[in-house]
């Protein structure tokens, strides 16, 4: 078999055979298929698609490229969640300890931010001492003793995806539904969770800009999970507006701790509880009450133990950026739009995100929102506070906020978009 004939088949809208898929994934992982050949194939897949059978085989081949984890020694059922990424999406932070407090084991292998979307590991690393890199034994130990662990995926898990994702990122081939679905699901299936809830984001701040695309991605992933014996459910959730009132690493940790303390913004609480209920249901835990676990402090107890078990100090002060800049409302009225993409790009430019994988992030950088769509704002009142250690970036960040919000005359009716748009099972 050779790479050029496999590329030609997909270029000419043909269907790849199981043998061709197994070979190309294995040969690419071993370095026999070159990056330029795989990027040509990825582009052909982006343009011409893959059918269900091809996606299933591609996913299985990526799983087979590495190790599979096994949580069968745990006494609790496992439940995991994956978000396709958004702005201000800190939900994993309160959700993992909350679901653990309700009786499930939550093995949450998470990623770093790239581009305008934030990453869970970058957020947690703003807690002094906290470690994202754990050995498989350490991961199991934290999971067993605290009920939840949030850490980086080890190098042994779906190595084909690690290599392919990095390649797609620099070749304009991230936004292909077959490649996104197989990338996410190969890691989740290899991780060995018994059940999985997918938070598929829709809107300007998400990979999927339309409900139709999000629905296709969600149903492809639900099908892959189900075929591999993982009980999988997806929620399509709004990402036209940032989640909560913060976007940025330490800022989002602070907001997550507010949720665990029984407060926090209404949309973050609503989505955390909706996902918690789905995870508990998928794990077969029927009698738990996640709202009570937030209110009575039991989720906070798990959070503190989980952070401490990974070297973090849950009582340490969080980093604060050296400089702030306040954006005020240019006129009075009703805020009718606050664009997630514009806010995400501004937070990224302030230093909360990275342009290349190896770049550092600033723990304190990001944006605080002082109003959300539907709120009444007064001319001259603070709308956003920008935080950074590199104030020379303010102008660059402000450019991405041009046209990122609309203020309509006072009294204008505003119809809120629901947080959860659809459920796919
Ligand atoms: N997240 C992943 O893990 N893979 C993708 O392809 C896109 C988002």
For ligand 1, the distance from its centroid to the CA atom of residue 192, given in whole angstroms, is 18
Q: Based on the fold, state whether residues 202 and 339 are members of the same structural domain.
A: no
Q: Based on the fold, state whether residues 200 and 287 are members of the same structural domain.
A: yes
Look at residue 364 and tell me if it is in a domain: yes
Which residue from 43, 272, 68, 295 is spatially nearest to 159, judged by alpha carbons? 68
Q: Based on the fold, state whether residues 41 and 91 are members of the same structural domain.
A: no
Look at residue 335 and tell me if it is in a domain: yes
Q: Which pLDDT score, from 0 to 100, does residue 117 have?
A: 80
Active-site position among 187, 231, 305, 393: 187
Q: Based on the fold, state whether residues 183 and 296 are members of the same structural domain.
A: yes
d(CA 189, CA 68): 8
Residue 332, CB half-sphere, CA atoms under 13 Å: how many? 3
In the 8-state DSSP scheme, what is residue 352? I
Look at residue 174 and tell me if it is in a domain: no
Q: Residue 261, Cα to own-chain centre: how many angstroms?
A: 23
Q: Based on the fold, state whether residues 83 and 44 are members of the same structural domain.
A: no
Q: Based on the fold, state whether residues 331 and 305 are members of the same structural domain.
A: no
Which residue from 337, 376, 350, 367 is spatially nearest to 241, judged by alpha carbons? 337
CB 43 within 8 A of CB 171: yes
Q: Which pLDDT score, from 0 to 100, does residue 204 have?
A: 96
Query: Can you give the pLDDT of all 425 residues of the chain as single tens digits?
Result: 999 999 999 999 999 999 999 999 999 999 999 999 999 999 999 999 999 999 999 999 999 999 999 998 999 999 999 999 999 999 999 999 999 999 999 999 988 876 788 899 999 999 999 999 999 999 999 999 999 999 998 889 999 999 998 899 888 898 899 999 999 999 999 999 999 999 999 999 998 999 999 999 999 999 999 999 999 999 999 999 999 999 999 999 999 999 999 999 999 999 999 999 999 999 999 999 999 999 999 999 999 999 999 999 999 999 999 999 999 999 999 999 999 999 999 999 999 998 777 788 999 999 999 999 999 999 999 999 999 999 999 999 999 999 999 999 999 999 999 999 999 99
Diameter of the chain measured on Cα atoms: 67
Q: Which of 278, 309, 340 is the last residue of a domain?
A: 309
For ligand 1, the distance from its centroid to the CA atom of residue 183, given in whole angstroms, is 6
C-beta 180 within 6 A of ligand 1:
yes
Q: 338: helix, coil or strand?
A: strand
C-beta 184 within 6 A of ligand 1:
yes
Question: What are the residues facing 81 on neighbouring strands?
Answer: 197
Look at residue 417 and tell me if it is in a domain: no
Q: Which pLDDT score, from 0 to 100, does residue 101 have?
A: 98
Q: Based on the fold, state whether residues 212 and 276 are members of the same structural domain.
A: yes
- Sort 8 into a burial class: Cβ within 10 Å, 0-12 / 13-18 / 19+: middle
Active-site position among 81, 82, 201, 387: 82
Residue 145's CB is within 10 A of a number of other CB atoms, namely 11
Q: Which pLDDT score, from 0 to 100, does residue 154 have?
A: 86
First vs last Cα of the chain: how many Å apart? 38
Q: Which pLDDT score, from 0 to 100, does residue 174 have?
A: 86
Q: Ligand 1, closest atom to CA 85?
A: 8
> Domain of 274?
79-156+179-309
CB 316 within 8 A of CB 129: yes
CATH assignment at residue 404: 3.90.1170.30
Look at residue 73 and tell me if it is in a domain: no
C-beta 165 within 6 A of ligand 1:
yes
DSSP string, 155-185: TTSSHHHHHHHHHHHTTT-S--HHHHHHHHH
The beta strand positions in 215-257, using DSSP E, are 231-238, 246-248
Number of structural domains found in the chain: 3
Look at residue 123 and tell me if it is in a domain: yes
For ligand 1, the distance from its centroid to the CA atom of residue 84, given in whole angstroms, is 7
For ligand 1, the distance from its centroid to the CA atom of residue 163, given in whole angstroms, is 12
354 catalytically annotated: no
- Complex ipTM value: 0.97
161 catalytically annotated: yes
Look at residue 74 and tell me if it is in a domain: no
Q: Which pLDDT score, from 0 to 100, does residue 111 have?
A: 85
For residue 336 the two structure tokens come to: 């009718």
| Cα 2 to Cα 16, 37, 42, 299, distances in angstroms | 13, 10, 16, 53
Question: What are the residues facing 235 on neighbouring strands?
Answer: 199, 423
Active-site position among 168, 231, 305, 354: 168
Q: Based on the fold, state whether residues 210 and 285 are members of the same structural domain.
A: yes
Q: Which pLDDT score, from 0 to 100, does residue 79 have?
A: 97
Look at residue 143 and tell me if it is in a domain: yes
For ligand 1, the distance from its centroid to the CA atom of residue 207, given in whole angstroms, is 9
52 catalytically annotated: no
Q: Based on the fold, state whether residues 113 and 245 are members of the same structural domain.
A: yes
Q: Based on the fold, state whether residues 327 and 293 are members of the same structural domain.
A: no
CATH assignment at residue 297: 3.40.1030.10
Q: Which pLDDT score, from 0 to 100, does residue 293 have?
A: 98
Active-site position among 65, 182, 183, 256: 183
C-beta 186 within 6 A of ligand 1:
no
187 catalytically annotated: yes
The beta strand positions in 268-381, using DSSP E, are 323-328, 333-338, 366-369, 376-377
CATH assignment at residue 24: 1.20.970.10
Q: Based on the fold, state whether residues 234 and 377 are members of the same structural domain.
A: no
Q: Based on the fold, state whether residues 239 and 372 are members of the same structural domain.
A: no
């Amino acid at each position: 078999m050779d790479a050029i004939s496999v590329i030609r088949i997909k270029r000419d809208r043909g269907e790849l055979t199981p043998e061709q898929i197994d070979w190309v994934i294995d040969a690419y992982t071993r370095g026999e298929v070159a990056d330029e050949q795989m990027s040509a194939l990825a582009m052909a897949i982006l343009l011409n698609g893959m059918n269900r059978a091809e996606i299933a085989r591609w996913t299985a081949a990526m799983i087979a490229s590495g190790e599979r984890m096994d949580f069968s020694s745990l006494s609790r059922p496992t439940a995991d969640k994956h978000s396709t990424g958004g702005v201000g999406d800190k939900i994993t932070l309160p959700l993992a300890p909350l679901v653990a407090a309700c009786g499930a084991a939550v093995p949450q292998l998470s990623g770093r931010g790239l581009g305008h979307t934030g990453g869970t590991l970058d957020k947690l690393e703003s807690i002094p001492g906290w470690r994202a890199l754990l050995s498989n034994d350490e991961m199991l130990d934290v999971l067993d003793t605290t009920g939840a662990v949030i850490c980086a995926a080890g190098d042994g898990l779906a190595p084909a995806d690690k290599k392919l994702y990095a390649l797609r990122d620099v070749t304009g081939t991230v936004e292909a539904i077959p490649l996104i679905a197989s990338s996410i699901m190969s890691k989740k299936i290899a991780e060995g969770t018994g059940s999985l809830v997918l938070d598929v984001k829709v809107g300007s701040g998400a990979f999927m800009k339309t409900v139709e695309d999000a629905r296709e991605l969600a149903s492809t992933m639900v099908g892959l999970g189900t075929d591999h014996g993982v009980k999988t459910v997806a929620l399509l959730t709004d990402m036209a507006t940032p989640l909560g009132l913060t976007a940025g690493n330490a800022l989002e940790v602070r907001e997550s701790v507010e949720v665990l303390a029984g407060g926090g913004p209404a949309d973050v609480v609503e989505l955390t509880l909706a996902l918690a209920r789905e995870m508990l249901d998928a794990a077969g835990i029927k009698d738990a009450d996640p709202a009570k676990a937030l209110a009575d402090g039991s989720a906070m107890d798990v959070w503190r133990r989980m952070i401490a078990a990974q070297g973090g100090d849950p009582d340490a002060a969080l980093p604060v950026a050296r400089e702030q800049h306040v954006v005020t409302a240019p006129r009075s009225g009703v805020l009718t739009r606050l664009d997630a993409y514009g806010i995400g790009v501004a937070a990224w430019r302030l230093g909360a995100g990275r342009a290349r994988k190896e770049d550092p992030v600033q723990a304190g950088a990001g944006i605080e929102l002082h109003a959300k769509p539907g709120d009444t704002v007064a001319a001259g009142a603070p709308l956003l506070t920008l935080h950074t250690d590199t104030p020379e970036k303010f102008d660059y960040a402000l450019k991405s906020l041009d046209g990122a919000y609309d203020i309509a005359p006072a009294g204008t009716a505003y119809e809120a978009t629901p947080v959860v748009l659809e459920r796919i099972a």
